[in-house]
Each structure stands twice: as structure tokens, then as C-alpha cells.
Amino acid sequence: MKKKSGLMTILLLTVVVLWVSACSNAASPAGASASSNGNDEVKALIDERCSVCHSASQVYRAHYDEARWSDVIDTMIERGAVVSEEEKARMIEWLLTQP
Ligand code: HEC
């Protein structure tokens, strides 16, 4: 009898641990990605489009204001970067949030 209740306790603990970890797993990635997904998307876009001719760190190193970024990206587009108006706007928005 004693042995059996010990087993029940372990089973119950396992269930509780699984349940708690399932809950926190479900809660945290959803919460984290809601805010970081959009950011990662723009960063991936910059990594993809802006590292063709120079490294993307050239972009991350630069700290410009909105107007200057607009000029720089227009210059890059003249040089051959493939960036739509909408992508340009999202890049600038993201770049301005970078420290
Ligand atoms: C078709 C080639 C090409 C692509 C694609 C490109 N660049 Fe450039 N970029 C250059 C060249 C050439 C220079 C000047 C030489 C250097 O500094 O390496 C430069 C320099 C820069 C500089 C530093 C000089 C300055 O004027 O401030 C920044 C910042 C920059 N690029 C940002 C970007 C961004 C953002 C993108 C993506 C939207 C991008 N580049 C895509 C060719 C390109």
C-alpha cells in the first residue's frame, strides 16, 4: 500500500510537471515572438538584400536619421539593391529602433 501511493505521487508529480512545462512553453514563445517576429523579419530582409555588395554589418554600424537612411537606401537601390518602397519603409523603421 505504501509503495503504491509513492508511485501515485510520482505519477501525479510527472503530470503536474508536464502540464506546467506545456503551459509555459505555449505561453512564452507566443508572447516573445509576437514582438520579435516582425523585427527578425526585417533583420533577415536586411541581411538578405543589403549583404550582396558589402557585409550587412556595414548597415548595422551606420546610425543615421530617417532622412539620411532614405537617401542611403535610394543610393543603394541606384547601385542595384533590390528593395521595394514598402521594404525600404520597414527597414528604416527598424533601423531607427536600433541602439
Ligand atoms: C548593388 C550593391 C549594393 C547593395 C545591394 C547594397 N549596397 Fe550599400 N553600398 C554599396 C557600395 C558600393 C557602397 C560604398 C562602398 C562601401 O562602403 O563598401 C555601399 C555603402 C553603404 C553604406 C555606408 C556608406 C554610406 O553611404 O553611408 C551603408 C550604410 C549602406 N551601403 C547601406 C546599405 C543598405 C541598407 C542596403 C540594403 C537596402 C545596401 N547598402 C545594399 C553597394 C550596395
Q: What is the pLDDT of residue 68?
A: 98
Looking at residue 3, its pLDDT comes to 64
- Write the Ramachandran bin of 63: left for phi over 0, alpha for psi from -120 to 50, otherwise beta: beta
The list of the chain residues with pLDDT below 50 reads 26-35
Q: What is the pLDDT of residue 38?
A: 72
Cα(35) to ligand 1 centroid in Å equals 28
Residues with CB under 6 A from ligand 1: 49-50, 52-54, 58-59, 62, 72-73, 76, 79-81, 83
Question: What is the C-alpha to C-alpha distance for residues 46 and 34, in angstroms, rounded to an integer?
Answer: 20
Which of 47, 79, 98 is the pocket-test mutation for ligand 1 (most atoms within 8 Å of CB)?
Answer: 79
| pLDDT score recorded for residue 27 | 45
- pLDDT the model gives residue 21: 55
Look-up of cell digits 503504491: 4
The pLDDT, as a whole number, for residue 14 is 56
Res 56: pLDDT: 96
